[in-house]
Amino acid sequence: MALSVVILAAGQGTRMKSDTPKVLHPISGKPMLFHSIDAAQKVSDDITVVLHHQAERIQKAVEAVYEGIAFHLQDAVNYPGTGGAMRGISPRHERTLILNGDMPLITEDSLRLLAEGDADINMSVLQLDPPPAYGRVIIEDGRVQRIVEDKDCTPEEKAVTTLNAGIYCVSRHVIDAYIPRLNNDNAQREYYLTDIVEMAVTEGKTVHPVIVRAEEFLGVNSKLDLAHAEEMMQRRIREHWMREGVTMHLPETIYIESDVTFEGECTLENGVTLLGDTHIVHSHIKAHSVIEDATIIDSDAGPMARIRPQTTLEGTHVGNFVEVKKSTLTGVKAGHLSYIGDATIGEGSNIGAGVITCNYDGKAKYPTTIGRNVFVGSDSQLVAPVTLEDETIIAAGSTVTKDVPTGALAISRTPMKIVAGFFNKFFGKGQ
Protein backbone atom coordinates (compact mmCIF):
# COMPACT_ATOMS: atom_id res chain seq x y z
CA MET A 1 0.00 0.00 0.00
CA ALA A 2 1.50 3.32 -1.06
CA LEU A 3 0.70 5.24 2.07
CA SER A 4 2.60 7.83 4.10
CA VAL A 5 2.23 8.11 7.88
CA VAL A 6 2.72 11.19 10.06
CA ILE A 7 2.83 10.65 13.82
CA LEU A 8 2.12 13.74 15.91
CA ALA A 9 4.32 13.70 18.99
CA ALA A 10 5.24 17.32 19.62
CA GLY A 11 2.88 17.91 22.52
CA GLN A 12 4.31 18.47 25.97
CA GLY A 13 2.24 15.98 27.91
CA THR A 14 1.98 18.23 30.97
CA ARG A 15 -0.52 15.96 32.67
CA MET A 16 2.02 13.14 32.96
CA LYS A 17 3.84 15.30 35.55
CA SER A 18 7.15 13.84 34.46
CA ASP A 19 10.56 14.88 33.15
CA THR A 20 10.32 12.05 30.67
CA PRO A 21 8.51 13.10 27.49
CA LYS A 22 5.04 11.61 27.35
CA VAL A 23 5.63 9.46 24.28
CA LEU A 24 8.69 7.81 25.85
CA HIS A 25 6.80 6.41 28.82
CA PRO A 26 6.86 2.64 28.43
CA ILE A 27 3.86 0.41 28.04
CA SER A 28 4.59 -3.32 28.33
CA GLY A 29 8.32 -2.66 28.08
CA LYS A 30 8.27 -0.33 25.09
CA PRO A 31 7.87 3.46 24.79
CA MET A 32 4.35 4.47 23.85
CA LEU A 33 5.57 6.04 20.62
CA PHE A 34 7.24 2.79 19.52
CA HIS A 35 3.90 1.00 19.61
CA SER A 36 2.55 3.58 17.12
CA ILE A 37 5.68 3.27 14.97
CA ASP A 38 5.36 -0.54 14.96
CA ALA A 39 1.76 -0.32 13.74
CA ALA A 40 2.73 2.35 11.18
CA GLN A 41 5.59 0.26 9.80
CA LYS A 42 3.15 -2.51 8.95
CA VAL A 43 1.30 -0.22 6.53
CA SER A 44 3.88 2.30 5.34
CA ASP A 45 7.45 2.85 4.17
CA ASP A 46 7.31 6.62 4.66
CA ILE A 47 6.94 7.54 8.33
CA THR A 48 7.49 11.03 9.74
CA VAL A 49 7.43 11.79 13.46
CA VAL A 50 6.61 15.40 14.39
CA LEU A 51 8.53 16.65 17.43
CA HIS A 52 9.02 19.80 19.46
CA HIS A 53 9.23 19.25 23.24
CA GLN A 54 12.44 17.34 24.05
CA ALA A 55 12.77 16.65 20.35
CA GLU A 56 16.41 15.61 20.51
CA ARG A 57 15.83 13.09 23.29
CA ILE A 58 12.89 11.49 21.51
CA GLN A 59 14.66 11.39 18.15
CA LYS A 60 17.68 9.69 19.75
CA ALA A 61 15.48 7.10 21.43
CA VAL A 62 13.72 6.32 18.14
CA GLU A 63 16.95 6.18 16.13
CA ALA A 64 18.47 3.73 18.61
CA VAL A 65 15.82 1.19 17.59
CA TYR A 66 14.44 2.10 14.16
CA GLU A 67 15.93 2.94 10.79
CA GLY A 68 14.47 5.13 8.09
CA ILE A 69 12.11 7.21 10.23
CA ALA A 70 11.96 10.91 9.24
CA PHE A 71 11.63 13.66 11.82
CA HIS A 72 9.94 17.02 11.46
CA LEU A 73 10.38 19.86 13.93
CA GLN A 74 7.19 21.75 14.55
CA ASP A 75 7.38 25.53 14.94
CA ALA A 76 5.19 25.21 18.01
CA VAL A 77 5.85 28.77 19.14
CA ASN A 78 4.31 30.38 16.07
CA TYR A 79 2.08 27.50 15.00
CA PRO A 80 0.88 25.57 18.04
CA GLY A 81 -1.73 22.83 17.73
CA THR A 82 -2.29 19.69 15.70
CA GLY A 83 -2.69 21.73 12.50
CA GLY A 84 0.52 23.61 13.22
CA ALA A 85 2.24 20.24 13.63
CA MET A 86 1.43 19.36 10.00
CA ARG A 87 2.87 22.58 8.52
CA GLY A 88 5.76 22.04 6.14
CA ILE A 89 5.33 18.28 5.86
CA SER A 90 5.37 16.85 2.35
CA PRO A 91 4.66 13.13 2.41
CA ARG A 92 5.97 10.93 -0.36
CA HIS A 93 2.71 9.16 -1.21
CA GLU A 94 -0.68 10.30 -2.48
CA ARG A 95 -2.44 9.40 0.78
CA THR A 96 -1.28 10.14 4.32
CA LEU A 97 -2.41 8.62 7.59
CA ILE A 98 -2.10 11.07 10.48
CA LEU A 99 -1.70 9.42 13.90
CA ASN A 100 -1.29 10.66 17.44
CA GLY A 101 1.86 9.51 19.20
CA ASP A 102 -0.10 8.97 22.40
CA MET A 103 -2.37 6.20 21.12
CA PRO A 104 -0.32 3.09 21.77
CA LEU A 105 -3.21 0.65 21.42
CA ILE A 106 -3.85 1.33 17.76
CA THR A 107 -3.68 -1.79 15.58
CA GLU A 108 -2.62 -2.48 12.04
CA ASP A 109 -6.19 -3.59 11.23
CA SER A 110 -7.63 -0.21 12.22
CA LEU A 111 -4.98 1.64 10.26
CA ARG A 112 -5.82 -0.40 7.17
CA LEU A 113 -9.52 0.25 7.66
CA LEU A 114 -8.85 3.99 7.90
CA ALA A 115 -6.71 3.96 4.78
CA GLU A 116 -9.36 2.25 2.62
CA GLY A 117 -11.15 3.99 -0.24
CA ASP A 118 -10.37 7.28 -1.92
CA ALA A 119 -12.30 9.90 0.06
CA ASP A 120 -10.35 13.13 0.53
CA ILE A 121 -10.65 12.62 4.27
CA ASN A 122 -11.31 9.39 6.14
CA MET A 123 -11.76 10.28 9.77
CA SER A 124 -11.97 8.04 12.82
CA VAL A 125 -15.22 8.43 14.71
CA LEU A 126 -16.29 7.16 18.13
CA GLN A 127 -19.70 6.95 19.74
CA LEU A 128 -19.51 7.59 23.48
CA ASP A 129 -22.30 8.64 25.79
CA PRO A 130 -21.76 10.71 27.85
CA PRO A 131 -19.14 12.27 25.56
CA PRO A 132 -15.65 12.92 26.98
CA ALA A 133 -13.82 16.18 26.10
CA TYR A 134 -13.12 15.14 22.51
CA GLY A 135 -13.86 17.08 19.36
CA ARG A 136 -17.55 16.71 18.43
CA VAL A 137 -18.37 15.56 14.91
CA ILE A 138 -21.25 17.64 13.58
CA ILE A 139 -23.34 15.61 11.15
CA GLU A 140 -26.22 17.13 9.16
CA ASP A 141 -28.38 15.17 6.70
CA GLY A 142 -26.15 12.15 7.23
CA ARG A 143 -23.04 14.07 6.18
CA VAL A 144 -20.09 15.17 8.30
CA GLN A 145 -19.99 18.98 8.32
CA ARG A 146 -17.23 19.95 10.71
CA ILE A 147 -15.46 19.12 14.00
CA VAL A 148 -15.91 21.40 16.98
CA GLU A 149 -13.39 21.14 19.81
CA ASP A 150 -14.80 20.65 23.30
CA LYS A 151 -13.63 24.09 24.40
CA ASP A 152 -15.37 25.75 21.43
CA CYS A 153 -18.70 23.90 21.76
CA THR A 154 -22.08 25.54 22.23
CA PRO A 155 -24.27 23.78 24.83
CA GLU A 156 -26.11 21.92 22.03
CA GLU A 157 -22.83 20.82 20.45
CA LYS A 158 -21.56 19.60 23.84
CA ALA A 159 -24.38 17.05 23.86
CA VAL A 160 -23.20 15.46 20.60
CA THR A 161 -22.01 11.89 21.21
CA THR A 162 -20.27 11.37 17.86
CA LEU A 163 -16.64 12.16 18.54
CA ASN A 164 -13.42 12.69 16.66
CA ALA A 165 -11.05 9.85 17.61
CA GLY A 166 -8.16 11.91 16.21
CA ILE A 167 -6.77 9.75 13.40
CA TYR A 168 -7.23 10.65 9.73
CA CYS A 169 -6.29 9.49 6.29
CA VAL A 170 -6.09 12.42 3.87
CA SER A 171 -5.27 13.03 0.21
CA ARG A 172 -2.30 15.09 -0.92
CA HIS A 173 -4.72 17.89 -1.85
CA VAL A 174 -5.74 18.25 1.82
CA ILE A 175 -2.14 18.56 2.95
CA ASP A 176 -1.03 20.92 0.20
CA ALA A 177 -4.11 23.15 0.05
CA TYR A 178 -5.69 23.16 3.53
CA ILE A 179 -2.85 22.95 6.06
CA PRO A 180 -1.34 26.34 5.00
CA ARG A 181 -4.78 27.93 5.22
CA LEU A 182 -5.59 26.88 8.83
CA ASN A 183 -6.02 29.72 11.32
CA ASN A 184 -6.00 29.94 15.12
CA ASP A 185 -9.32 31.69 15.48
CA ASN A 186 -10.59 29.57 18.41
CA ALA A 187 -10.72 29.23 22.19
CA GLN A 188 -7.21 27.75 22.48
CA ARG A 189 -5.54 30.08 19.92
CA GLU A 190 -4.21 26.95 18.25
CA TYR A 191 -4.06 25.75 14.67
CA TYR A 192 -6.55 22.89 14.68
CA LEU A 193 -6.02 20.06 12.24
CA THR A 194 -9.71 19.30 12.68
CA ASP A 195 -10.61 22.40 10.62
CA ILE A 196 -9.59 20.54 7.44
CA VAL A 197 -12.96 18.80 7.64
CA GLU A 198 -14.99 21.96 7.19
CA MET A 199 -12.66 23.14 4.41
CA ALA A 200 -13.16 19.89 2.54
CA VAL A 201 -16.94 20.04 2.97
CA THR A 202 -17.03 23.63 1.69
CA GLU A 203 -15.09 22.61 -1.43
CA GLY A 204 -17.48 19.70 -2.02
CA LYS A 205 -14.84 17.06 -1.24
CA THR A 206 -15.71 13.74 0.36
CA VAL A 207 -15.35 13.25 4.10
CA HIS A 208 -15.89 9.67 5.14
CA PRO A 209 -16.42 8.80 8.83
CA VAL A 210 -14.98 5.46 9.91
CA ILE A 211 -16.45 4.11 13.14
CA VAL A 212 -13.65 2.75 15.34
CA ARG A 213 -13.35 0.81 18.61
CA ALA A 214 -12.89 3.13 21.58
CA GLU A 215 -10.29 0.89 23.25
CA GLU A 216 -7.73 1.31 20.48
CA PHE A 217 -8.12 5.06 20.37
CA LEU A 218 -7.52 5.66 24.05
CA GLY A 219 -5.29 8.73 24.24
CA VAL A 220 -2.76 8.51 27.05
CA ASN A 221 -2.50 11.83 28.86
CA SER A 222 -1.88 10.89 32.50
CA LYS A 223 -0.27 8.14 34.55
CA LEU A 224 -3.78 6.79 35.13
CA ASP A 225 -4.33 6.51 31.37
CA LEU A 226 -0.90 4.92 31.12
CA ALA A 227 -1.88 2.21 33.59
CA HIS A 228 -5.18 1.58 31.79
CA ALA A 229 -3.41 1.34 28.46
CA GLU A 230 -0.96 -1.13 29.94
CA GLU A 231 -3.75 -3.30 31.32
CA MET A 232 -5.35 -3.45 27.91
CA MET A 233 -2.04 -4.13 26.23
CA GLN A 234 -1.33 -6.94 28.71
CA ARG A 235 -4.71 -8.48 28.05
CA ARG A 236 -3.98 -8.42 24.32
CA ILE A 237 -0.53 -9.92 24.73
CA ARG A 238 -1.78 -12.72 27.00
CA GLU A 239 -4.77 -13.50 24.80
CA HIS A 240 -2.54 -13.62 21.74
CA TRP A 241 -0.18 -16.14 23.35
CA MET A 242 -2.98 -18.24 24.84
CA ARG A 243 -4.42 -18.52 21.32
CA GLU A 244 -0.95 -19.64 20.21
CA GLY A 245 -1.07 -22.46 22.75
CA VAL A 246 0.52 -21.08 25.92
CA THR A 247 -1.22 -22.32 29.08
CA MET A 248 -1.63 -19.63 31.74
CA HIS A 249 -2.88 -20.09 35.30
CA LEU A 250 -4.71 -16.97 36.54
CA PRO A 251 -3.65 -15.03 33.45
CA GLU A 252 -4.56 -11.65 34.93
CA THR A 253 -1.66 -12.06 37.40
CA ILE A 254 0.90 -12.66 34.63
CA TYR A 255 2.93 -9.81 33.09
CA ILE A 256 4.46 -10.30 29.64
CA GLU A 257 6.31 -7.57 27.74
CA SER A 258 5.76 -6.94 24.04
CA ASP A 259 8.91 -8.57 22.69
CA VAL A 260 8.59 -11.86 24.61
CA THR A 261 8.03 -14.87 22.35
CA PHE A 262 6.99 -18.50 22.86
CA GLU A 263 7.32 -21.67 20.87
CA GLY A 264 5.88 -25.11 21.42
CA GLU A 265 3.84 -26.00 24.45
CA CYS A 266 4.56 -23.68 27.36
CA THR A 267 2.96 -23.22 30.77
CA LEU A 268 3.06 -20.09 32.89
CA GLU A 269 1.88 -20.27 36.47
CA ASN A 270 0.36 -17.36 38.33
CA GLY A 271 2.42 -14.26 39.07
CA VAL A 272 5.07 -14.90 36.41
CA THR A 273 6.85 -11.82 34.98
CA LEU A 274 8.49 -12.09 31.57
CA LEU A 275 10.54 -9.10 30.45
CA GLY A 276 12.49 -7.82 27.48
CA ASP A 277 13.71 -10.11 24.78
CA THR A 278 12.75 -13.35 26.50
CA HIS A 279 12.21 -16.45 24.41
CA ILE A 280 10.51 -19.51 25.91
CA VAL A 281 10.39 -22.82 24.12
CA HIS A 282 8.49 -25.85 25.39
CA SER A 283 9.02 -24.94 29.04
CA HIS A 284 7.21 -24.60 32.34
CA ILE A 285 7.66 -21.39 34.31
CA LYS A 286 6.40 -21.81 37.85
CA ALA A 287 4.66 -19.28 40.08
CA HIS A 288 6.18 -15.86 40.74
CA SER A 289 9.33 -16.31 38.67
CA VAL A 290 10.89 -13.26 36.99
CA ILE A 291 12.64 -13.76 33.66
CA GLU A 292 14.41 -11.03 31.69
CA ASP A 293 16.14 -11.17 28.29
CA ALA A 294 16.65 -14.92 28.61
CA THR A 295 16.16 -17.99 26.45
CA ILE A 296 14.57 -21.02 28.09
CA ILE A 297 14.28 -24.23 26.12
CA ASP A 298 12.85 -27.58 27.30
CA SER A 299 13.28 -26.49 30.90
CA ASP A 300 11.40 -25.64 34.04
CA ALA A 301 12.08 -22.76 36.37
CA GLY A 302 10.70 -21.66 39.72
CA PRO A 303 8.62 -21.18 41.71
CA MET A 304 10.28 -17.85 42.53
CA ALA A 305 13.27 -18.22 40.23
CA ARG A 306 14.99 -15.16 38.83
CA ILE A 307 16.52 -15.58 35.40
CA ARG A 308 18.43 -12.49 34.27
CA PRO A 309 19.78 -11.20 30.94
CA GLN A 310 21.99 -13.24 28.62
CA THR A 311 21.00 -16.53 30.17
CA THR A 312 20.19 -19.67 28.26
CA LEU A 313 18.65 -22.66 30.01
CA GLU A 314 18.30 -25.80 27.97
CA GLY A 315 16.99 -29.11 29.28
CA THR A 316 17.53 -27.65 32.72
CA HIS A 317 15.71 -27.62 36.05
CA VAL A 318 15.99 -24.46 38.11
CA GLY A 319 14.18 -24.47 41.43
CA ASN A 320 13.09 -21.95 44.01
CA PHE A 321 15.20 -18.94 44.93
CA VAL A 322 17.76 -19.58 42.24
CA GLU A 323 19.17 -16.54 40.45
CA VAL A 324 20.94 -17.04 37.13
CA LYS A 325 22.70 -14.25 35.23
CA LYS A 326 24.64 -14.26 31.94
CA SER A 327 25.05 -18.04 32.06
CA THR A 328 24.43 -21.04 29.89
CA LEU A 329 23.07 -24.15 31.60
CA THR A 330 22.59 -27.24 29.50
CA GLY A 331 21.07 -30.35 31.06
CA VAL A 332 21.64 -29.04 34.57
CA LYS A 333 19.81 -29.33 37.89
CA ALA A 334 19.99 -26.35 40.23
CA GLY A 335 17.17 -26.98 42.64
CA HIS A 336 17.50 -24.52 45.48
CA LEU A 337 18.81 -21.16 46.65
CA SER A 338 21.75 -20.43 44.36
CA TYR A 339 23.43 -17.55 42.57
CA ILE A 340 24.87 -18.54 39.23
CA GLY A 341 26.51 -15.66 37.35
CA ASP A 342 28.88 -15.59 34.33
CA ALA A 343 28.89 -19.39 34.26
CA THR A 344 28.75 -22.17 31.74
CA ILE A 345 27.50 -25.49 33.09
CA GLY A 346 27.45 -28.74 31.14
CA GLU A 347 25.15 -31.73 30.75
CA GLY A 348 24.42 -33.88 33.80
CA SER A 349 25.81 -31.48 36.38
CA ASN A 350 24.11 -30.86 39.69
CA ILE A 351 24.33 -27.60 41.56
CA GLY A 352 23.54 -28.17 45.24
CA ALA A 353 21.51 -25.92 47.50
CA GLY A 354 23.16 -22.63 48.33
CA VAL A 355 25.96 -22.79 45.76
CA ILE A 356 27.32 -19.35 44.89
CA THR A 357 29.51 -18.35 42.00
CA CYS A 358 31.67 -15.55 43.41
CA ASN A 359 31.92 -13.81 40.05
CA TYR A 360 32.79 -10.29 41.18
CA ASP A 361 35.82 -9.09 43.12
CA GLY A 362 34.56 -5.55 43.48
CA LYS A 363 36.19 -4.40 40.25
CA ALA A 364 35.56 -6.93 37.49
CA LYS A 365 33.43 -9.97 36.68
CA TYR A 366 35.03 -13.39 36.08
CA PRO A 367 33.74 -16.61 34.51
CA THR A 368 33.03 -19.98 36.10
CA THR A 369 33.23 -22.98 33.82
CA ILE A 370 31.67 -26.24 34.96
CA GLY A 371 31.94 -29.31 32.75
CA ARG A 372 29.73 -32.38 32.40
CA ASN A 373 28.50 -34.60 35.24
CA VAL A 374 29.96 -32.33 37.90
CA PHE A 375 28.49 -32.64 41.39
CA VAL A 376 28.75 -29.37 43.29
CA GLY A 377 27.88 -30.03 46.92
CA SER A 378 25.58 -27.72 48.85
CA ASP A 379 26.81 -24.41 50.21
CA SER A 380 29.94 -24.28 48.11
CA GLN A 381 31.47 -21.06 46.85
CA LEU A 382 33.14 -21.10 43.47
CA VAL A 383 35.59 -18.20 43.39
CA ALA A 384 35.90 -17.11 39.76
CA PRO A 385 37.74 -17.31 37.48
CA VAL A 386 37.60 -21.05 38.03
CA THR A 387 37.05 -24.23 36.06
CA LEU A 388 35.58 -27.49 37.31
CA GLU A 389 36.39 -30.06 34.66
CA ASP A 390 34.12 -32.96 33.64
CA GLU A 391 33.22 -35.57 36.27
CA THR A 392 34.46 -33.76 39.32
CA ILE A 393 32.97 -33.59 42.80
CA ILE A 394 32.99 -30.59 45.06
CA ALA A 395 32.39 -31.56 48.67
CA ALA A 396 29.61 -29.71 50.44
CA GLY A 397 30.68 -26.47 52.09
CA SER A 398 33.87 -26.04 50.04
CA THR A 399 35.39 -22.78 48.94
CA VAL A 400 36.86 -23.52 45.54
CA THR A 401 39.71 -21.21 44.59
CA LYS A 402 41.63 -23.45 42.17
CA ASP A 403 40.69 -25.31 38.99
CA VAL A 404 39.62 -28.91 39.58
CA PRO A 405 40.96 -31.51 37.10
CA THR A 406 38.79 -34.24 35.56
CA GLY A 407 37.79 -37.04 37.89
CA ALA A 408 38.96 -35.27 41.07
CA LEU A 409 37.31 -34.45 44.38
CA ALA A 410 37.82 -30.96 45.77
CA ILE A 411 37.24 -30.49 49.44
CA SER A 412 38.06 -27.45 51.49
CA ARG A 413 36.78 -27.60 55.03
CA THR A 414 38.00 -26.81 58.48
CA PRO A 415 38.37 -30.31 60.01
CA MET A 416 35.51 -31.02 62.38
CA LYS A 417 36.34 -31.60 66.04
CA ILE A 418 34.28 -33.45 68.67
CA VAL A 419 34.68 -32.10 72.18
CA ALA A 420 32.96 -34.56 74.50
CA GLY A 421 30.96 -33.22 77.47
CA PHE A 422 31.37 -29.61 76.41
CA PHE A 423 27.69 -28.69 76.82
CA ASN A 424 27.57 -29.26 80.53
CA LYS A 425 30.95 -27.70 81.02
CA PHE A 426 29.83 -24.54 79.29
CA PHE A 427 26.27 -24.11 80.53
CA GLY A 428 26.57 -25.93 83.81
CA LYS A 429 24.77 -29.08 84.86
CA GLY A 430 21.01 -29.16 84.84
CA GLN A 431 20.61 -26.52 82.10
Binding mask 316-345 for ligand UD1 (x = CB under 6 A): ------------------------------
Residue 240: name the closest of 110, 232, 284 by CA. Answer: 232
338 phi, psi to nearest 5 deg? -130, 160
| Residue nearest to Mg ion as judged by C-beta position | 219
- 65 CB-near residues (< 8 Å, 6+ apart): 34
Of 113-121, 161-169, 175-183, 302-310, the segment contacting ligand UD1 by CB under 6 A is: 161-169
Question: Cβ-count burial of 184 within 10 angstroms (0-12 exposed, 13-18 middle, 19+ buried)?
Answer: middle
| Binding piece for ligand UD1, criterion CB under 6 A, among 190-198, 208-216, 311-319, 331-339 | 190-198
Angle, in degrees to the nearest 10, between helices 32-41 and 223-243: 50
User: Looking at 164-172, 254-262, 279-287, 346-354, which segment touches ligand UD1 (CB under 6 A)?
Assistant: 164-172
- What are the two backbone dihedrals, phi and then psi, of residue 46, each rounded to the nearest 5 degrees? -135, 90
- Verify binding: residue 84, ligand UD1, rule CB under 6 A: yes
Size of the site for Mg ion (CB under 5 A): 1
Q: Is 300 helix (H, G, I), strand (E, B) or coil?
A: strand
CB of 355 to ligand UD1, least distance (A): 52
Q: Nearest approach, Cβ of 121 to ligand UD1 (angstroms)?
A: 13
Q: How far is the CB of 221 from Mg ion (least distance, A)?
A: 6
Could you tell me the smallest distance in angstroms from the CB atom of residue 237 to ligand UD1? Answer: 23
Nearer to ligand UD1 among residue 82 and residue 330 (C-beta): 82
Residue 122 near ligand UD1 by CB under 6 A: no
Report the catalytic residues. 336
Among candidates 268, 205, 201, 184, which has minimal Cα distance to 234? 268
End-to-end CA distance of the chain: 89
Q: Does 225 bind Mg ion (CB under 5 A)?
A: no
| Binding flag, residue 74, ligand UD1 (CB under 6 A) | yes
**Residue 137 or 334: which CB sits closer to ligand UD1?**
137
CB 4, CB 48: distance < 8 Å: yes
Residue whose CB is less far from ligand UD1, 50 or 246? 50
Task: Determine, following the binding rule CB under 6 A, whether residue 9 of this chain makes contact with ligand UD1.
Answer: yes
Q: Is 178 in the site for ligand UD1 (CB under 6 A)?
A: no
Instruction: State which of residues 39, 120, 134, 200 lies at the interface with ligand UD1 (CB under 6 A).
Output: 134
Burial (CB count within 10 angstroms: exposed 0-12, middle 13-18, buried 19+), residue 56: exposed
From the list Mg ion, ligand UD1, none, partner contacted by residue 134 (C-beta under 5 to 8 A by kind): ligand UD1
Taking the C-alpha atoms of residue 374 and residue 351, their distance in angstroms, rounded to an integer, is 8
DSSP 243-258: HTT-EESSGGG-EE-T
Rounded to the nearest 5°, which phi and psi values hold at 66?
-115, 155
Residue type, 88: G
Length of the chain: 431
Q: Does 110 bind ligand UD1 (CB under 6 A)?
A: no
Decide: is 219 part of the binding site for Mg ion (CB under 5 A).
yes
Question: What's phi and psi for 429, nearest 5 deg?
Answer: -65, 150
Query: Using the rule CB under 6 A, is 147 a contact of ligand UD1?
Result: yes
Among 43, 85, 115, 272, which residue interacts with ligand UD1 (rule: CB under 6 A)? 85
**Is 31 among the residues that bind ligand UD1 (CB under 6 A)?**
no
Work out whether strand 255-256 and strand 273-275 pair parallel, antiparallel, or are unpaired. Answer: parallel
Q: Which of residues 194-213 bind Mg ion (CB under 5 A)?
A: none
- Nearest by Cα to 329 from 276, 376, 394: 376
Residue 365: DSSP 8-state: B
Residue 282: closest CA among 309, 250, 314, 307: 314
Residue closer to ligand UD1 (CB basis): 113 or 408:
113
Site size with ligand UD1, rule: CB under 6 A: 27
Contacts with Mg ion by CB under 5 A lie at 219
Contacts with ligand UD1 by CB under 6 A lie at 8-11, 50, 74, 76, 80-82, 84-85, 100-102, 134-135, 147, 149, 163-166, 192-194, 219
